[in-house]
Amino acid sequence: MAIVLGLDLSTQSATALVLDTKSGKQLAMARAAFGPDFPERGHPEGFIPGGYNNEVHASPLLWLDGLELALGCLGVSTDLSKIEAVSVSGQQHGSVYLGADYLAAFADGNPQTSLAEKIKPVLSRETSPIWMDSSTAQECAEIAAALGGNQAVCDLTGSVATPRFTGPQIRRFAKNNPALWAKTERVHLVSSFMASILAGKDVAIDTGDGAGMNLMDIRKGDWSPAALQATAPDLAKKLPSISPGSTVAGSISKYFVARYGFSTTCRVVIGTGDNPSSLVGMGASRPGKIVISLGTSDTLFAAIGGIRTDAAGLGHAFGNPLGGSMSLICVRNGSLAREAIRRECGLKSWDDFSAAIDKSPAAQSAILPMEVDEITPRHSAGRITLGKNVSKESLPRAAVEGQALSMRLHSRWVGTPTTQLLLTGGASNNSSIAQIFADVFGAPVLRLAVSDSAALGAALRAAEAACGEKMDYLESLFCAPAPGVIHPNRALRSAYDALEIELAQKLF
């Protein structure tokens, strides 16, 4: 029985969650929001706005400041010396570039200088491309050509060469900035960077997050020499190793002991991506449950037996941190599109948005809202309208119905019948939105009692890997669904089927 900490470094915030596996209680939670808590940085949604040529970057120093703010808040209510193990979940695909002396910066235990102050001088690239970046179409084409075409890349790495994935991002940097690439000694993912910061040394990438790079052999769970070769010169020596998600990296660094009062015996378990982490946090790490996460991005994922890939090139196979693999589709226009529609309709709160949904008739029309270029489906910014005309009053419902229908259409390749949906992410708290997902998928929707599934997954992985807890036991304590199943209205089925067919006709 242990007290464990899960950290989630997502697009918009850093979340810290402390669990007591003896009492089955969540002891504390703290969150630092990169926009609202650091207004002077000018990154209101966690990333750097106005990127050139579809580039979307974020500041790794802001992530560090967010981590420190969240830990500082946690320390006020919680005795951090009691924490026995910690692990990390990080937004997937984002990468951090480090140059000479980066190991000394990781190991620097001086509590007088912040993590950002230690890391700033050793960044070989000031900012980090993140999953929203779509500037690498050319590099994707080059990687695919070198590896024998996109089907070959998909068979090898679990996904076709994908613009937001780390390999194409690395290639673009190495091509356009060869001098800075030469100075780069280490490339980390967000999850492995944060785990390295916690451990005070270089820490491996796990097979779950490693699969989101177009660099890992999905069947071997290790770097593919051919993919590395096709991506950038000297890449093999600039990457950390790959290890299973259950790997204990070592003890927490002196910095966290001195600055936040952690125990010197607190262990660090290597990190994973936010979607693989949510898979664990939702209690869905064994095949049979389908999860939809409505966060900045909307994702649909499920643990799968064996490895399945999407012939259309939109879905992905990632590693399951607990072994095996998982399928995933990712929609870029998730919460940010819902927020834009809310603003457009002049609705001040999410309650007003819900009221507008509830007032409009279901399954009459749908709109796929793409405020920015979309990745699933691959489509330039704009709107696809289905069914009857949409008025301003019915726009919130039509937009959420369009999002749910598109997800249903684009997840058909996974092949798992949807008998139940588990919903998580910021918008999952909204019952009107949850009802639409139940109706469109024709399946009951459950939500978790704990809403931060990515941070929860990190805490559960820490408990299993470092404290010997059994995942079945942990799931029974922390992954119980909240009371209140949302049942689908089956009478809407044929109307939604017709709208899905219309969407497919407009897209393909």
207 binds ligand XUL per the rule CB under 6 A? no
By a kind-dependent CB cut-off of 5 to 8 A, residue 95 interacts, out of ligand ADP, ligand XUL, none, with none
430 binds ligand ADP per the rule CB under 6 A? yes
How many CA atoms within 13 Å lie on the side-chain side of 450? 31
Residue 350 CA to residue 381 CA, distance in Å, equals 24
Give the interface segment with ligand ADP, choosing from 49-57, 260-268, 384-392, 428-436 (CB under 6 A): 428-436
7 binds ligand XUL per the rule CB under 6 A? no
By a kind-dependent CB cut-off of 5 to 8 A, residue 275 interacts, out of ligand ADP, ligand XUL, none, with ligand XUL
In the bound state with ligand ADP, the residue whose beta carbon lies nearer, of 273 and 426, is 426
327-356 residues in contact with ligand ADP (CB under 6 A) are: 335, 338-339, 350
Site string for ligand XUL, 84-113 (x = CB under 6 A): -------xxx--------------------
251 binds ligand XUL per the rule CB under 6 A? no
* In the complex, minimum distance from the CB of residue 455 to ligand ADP, in angstroms, rounded to a whole number: 9
21 binds ligand ADP per the rule CB under 6 A? no
Residue 408 CA to residue 406 CA, distance in Å, equals 5
Give the interface segment with ligand ADP, choosing from 230-238, 317-325, 429-437, 493-501 (CB under 6 A): 429-437
Residue 422 CA to residue 441 CA, distance in Å, equals 12
310 binds ligand XUL per the rule CB under 6 A? no
Q: Would you say how long the chain is, in residues?
A: 508
Find all residues with CB under 8 Å of 178, minimum gap 6, and list them: none
| Cβ-contact 105, 122 below 8 angstroms | yes
* In the complex, minimum distance from the CB of residue 111 to ligand ADP, in angstroms, rounded to a whole number: 29
Of 476, 459, 463, 456, which is closest to residue 1 (Cα–Cα)?
463
243 binds ligand ADP per the rule CB under 6 A? no
In the bound state with ligand XUL, the residue whose beta carbon lies nearer, of 252 and 330, is 330
Residue 113 CA to residue 20 CA, distance in Å, equals 31
In the bound state with ligand ADP, the residue whose beta carbon lies nearer, of 60 and 295, is 295
464-493 residues in contact with ligand ADP (CB under 6 A) are: none
Helices (H) and strands (E) in the chain, counts: 20, 23
| Cβ-contact 7, 87 below 8 angstroms | yes
Q: Of residues 7, 9, 13, 173, which one binds ligand ADP by CB under 6 A? A: 13
428 binds ligand XUL per the rule CB under 6 A? no
**What is the 8-class DSSP label of residue 347?**
-
By a kind-dependent CB cut-off of 5 to 8 A, residue 131 interacts, out of ligand XUL, ligand ADP, none, with ligand XUL
Residue 348 CA to residue 159 CA, distance in Å, equals 40
In the bound state with ligand XUL, the residue whose beta carbon lies nearer, of 131 and 181, is 131
* In the complex, minimum distance from the CB of residue 12 to ligand ADP, in angstroms, rounded to a whole number: 4
376 binds ligand XUL per the rule CB under 6 A? no
- For 352, the token pair is 């007003």
Q: In Å, what is the CA distance from 67 to each residue of 36, 306, 331, 359, 460?
A: 14, 36, 26, 41, 19
Compute the CA torsion angle 198, 465, 420, 349 (nearest 10 deg): -20
196 binds ligand ADP per the rule CB under 6 A? no
| Cβ-contact 244, 206 below 8 angstroms | yes
* In the complex, minimum distance from the CB of residue 7 to ligand ADP, in angstroms, rounded to a whole number: 13
- For 210, the token pair is 């490693």
| Cβ-contact 56, 95 below 8 angstroms | no
Find all residues with CB under 8 Å of 88, minimum gap 6, and list them: 6, 7, 8, 9, 191, 194, 195, 198, 271, 272, 458
Of 10, 262, 260, 249, which is closest to residue 111 (Cα–Cα)?
260
164 binds ligand XUL per the rule CB under 6 A? yes
429 binds ligand ADP per the rule CB under 6 A? yes
In the bound state with ligand XUL, the residue whose beta carbon lies nearer, of 458 and 486, is 458
By a kind-dependent CB cut-off of 5 to 8 A, residue 93 interacts, out of ligand ADP, ligand XUL, none, with ligand XUL
**Which residues of the shown chain bind ligand XUL in the complex (CB under 6 A)?**
11, 91-93, 131, 164, 212, 273-275, 295, 297, 299, 328, 330
Which residues are at the interface with ligand ADP (CB under 6 A)?
10-13, 295-296, 335, 338-339, 350, 425-427, 429-430, 433
